């Protein structure tokens, strides 16, 4: 899914090509993200967008979020590990934040559309596992969703995509159960789903991107005896990433044996925008 688009606002504010909020000031690429850091271990491939010649590569920087202990001084290497490709007609694409040790092409190599370049990672100036794709024509940044820079709050008639990805103005990345409110780093890592016993608290959480002030996250849990939790949490401010959680202590005698189904829904203007589900079984 795409978390950030090219900033279409020429001033200090930020907006994406649809006049939506999925951009930040000066952002010059398209960020295609993975839900969690754990999903990076699946080895999500980065492929060439079009035929061309590799102009340069870097494959020496660790996969670590900026701000974490041990994160390196970037020294201007914000792209992290990556590949640049030159195409006919003055076009160039750049692929950033790739996984350490994953790059399989070399400078000067000819590639075709769809050829594997490496894998999505966390290197460079990255706050979540993603591929930052930049497109340039004669050295000028181009929005692949609006290559002629003519769109006014809507989809362009012509894009650079064979099939343009659907625009998602925000949504849920992950959801799960935990025996207490999880740490945000565990949410980001994708390791928040710890064991829950019949005598522990039962907490349902949802992890989202593109949250807007006045959005609502609804969290419900249905157990063997019916609805256990049903709560709506209003978002007080706009946030690029966020999580919310709610739960209950175990009742006297513990939670009833059986299946528990969690449902997390992100609502905007009262309408469902995105949904995630999670299930656990207790007492077996």
State mean pLDDT over 92-116: 98
* Homologous superfamily of the 171-282 domain (CATH): Immunoglobulins (2.60.40.10)
Better-predicted residue by pLDDT, 138 or 156: 138
Q: What's the mean pLDDT when you consider all of the chain?
A: 94
State mean pLDDT over 204-224: 97
Order of all β-strands in the sheet with 216-223: 226-234, 216-223, 258-268, 271-282
**CATH topology classification for 30-142:** Glucose Permease (Domain IIA) (2.70.70)
Domain regions of the chain by residue span: 30-142, 171-282
First to last CA, the chain: 36
State mean pLDDT over 70-77: 87
pTM of the model: 0.91
Confidence band of 156 (pLDDT split at 50, 70, 90): confident
Query: Which are the contacts of 269, defined by CB distance < 8 A and separation ≥ 6?
Result: none
The pLDDT score that the predictor gives to residue 144 is: 96
The pLDDT score that the predictor gives to residue 46 is: 98
Of 9-13, 118-122, 150-154, where does mean pLDDT reach its minimum? 150-154
The pLDDT score that the predictor gives to residue 52 is: 98
For 219-271, what is each residue's pLDDT tens digit?
A: 999 999 999 999 999 999 999 999 999 999 999 999 999 999 999 999 999 99
Asked if the domains at 30-142 and 171-282 fall in one CATH topology, the answer is no
């Amino acid at each position: 899914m795409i978390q950030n688009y090219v900033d279409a606002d020429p001033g200090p504010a930020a907006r994406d090509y649809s006049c939506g909020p999925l951009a930040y000031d000066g952002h010059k690429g398209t960020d295609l993200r993975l839900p969690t850091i754990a999903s990076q271990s699946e080895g999500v491939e980065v492929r060439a967008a079009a035929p061309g010649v590799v102009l340069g590569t870097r494959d020496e920087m660790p996969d670590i979020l900026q701000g974490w202990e041990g994160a390196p001084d970037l020294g201007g290497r914000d792209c992290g590990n990556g590949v640049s490709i030159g195409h006919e007609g003055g076009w160039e694409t750049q692929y950033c934040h790739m996984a350490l040790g994953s790059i399989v092409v070399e400078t000067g190599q000819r590639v075709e559309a769809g050829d594997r370049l490496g894998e999505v990672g966390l290197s460079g100036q990255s706050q979540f596992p993603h591929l930052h794709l930049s497109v340039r024509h004669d050295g000028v940044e181009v929005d692949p969703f609006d290559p002629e820079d003519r769109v006014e709050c809507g989809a362009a008639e012509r894009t650079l995509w064979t099939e343009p990805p659907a625009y998602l103005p925000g949504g849920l990345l992950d959801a799960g159960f935990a025996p207490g409110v999880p740490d945000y780093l565990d949410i980001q890592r994708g390791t928040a789903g710890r064991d829950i016993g019949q005598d522990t608290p039962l907490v349902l959480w949802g992890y989202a991107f593109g949250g807007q002030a006045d959005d609502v996250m609804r969290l419900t849990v249905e157990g063997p005896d019916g609805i256990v939790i049903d709560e709506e949490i209003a978002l007080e401010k706009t946030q690029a990433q966020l999580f919310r959680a709610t739960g209950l202590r175990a009742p006297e005698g513990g939670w009833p044996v059986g299946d528990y189904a969690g449902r997390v829904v992100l609502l905007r203007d009262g309408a469902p925008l995105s949904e995630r589900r999670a299930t656990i079984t207790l007492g077996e």
